[in-house]
Amino acid sequence: MMKKISNIYKTFDIVVVPFPFTDNVHAKNRPAVVISSYDYFNNSAEHSILAMITSSHHNPWPLDIPIKNLKSSGLEKTSIIRLKLFTLDHRIILKKVGKLSLIDQKNLKKNFALAFNEIGD
C-alpha cells in the first residue's frame, strides 16, 4: 500500500529510496540525489528524477562525482554520485537525509552538462 504524499522534494535533496535487486523480490534502502526542479517538475508531477549515490568505487562510471561535503549531505561514508538516473513517485521515497553542498551542486551540474552537452546543439 502506498503512503499519502507528504513531501515534495527539491533539487539537490539527498533522499533514501528502496533500490530493487535484479530478482525484483528484495530491495535495499540506498541514498539518491534529486536532480529535477521543484518548480518545473517535482511539484506538479509528484515524482522526482534522481541520480544514484553509492559508496562503491569499484567499476567506476564516466563522470562519477565524489561528494566532498558529507556533513551537509547527511551521508555517513565516502560516496559518489553516479549518473544512473531514474524517476520515482514521491510516495516511494522513504525520507530526506540532507542536501548537497554548493561545491557538490556545482560539480553535479558540470558533469550533468557534460553528459548531455549535445542535446542543446
3 state DSSP class of 10: coil
Q: Is residue 99 part of a domain?
A: yes
Is 8 a member of any domain?
A: no
* 92 falls within a domain: yes
1 inside domain: no
On whether residue 2 sits in a domain, the answer given is: no
Per-residue pLDDT of the chain (121 residues; tens, 9 = 90+): 455 566 889 999 999 999 875 566 678 899 999 999 999 999 999 999 999 999 977 788 999 999 999 999 999 999 999 999 999 999 999 999 999 999 999 999 999 999 988 665 5
> Which CATH number fits the domain that encloses residue 54?
2.30.30.110
The amino acid that residue 65 corresponds to is I
Assigned domain for 120 exists: no
Supply the pTM of this predicted model. Answer: 0.87
CA-to-CA distance for 6 and 34, rounded, in angstroms? Answer: 16
Domain that holds residue 108: 13-115
Structural domain contains residue 104: yes
Q: What is the pLDDT of residue 36?
A: 96
Helix, strand, coil percentages, rounded to 5, for the chain: 20, 35, 45
The total number of structural domains that make up the chain: 1
- What nine digits make up the cell of 84? 544512473
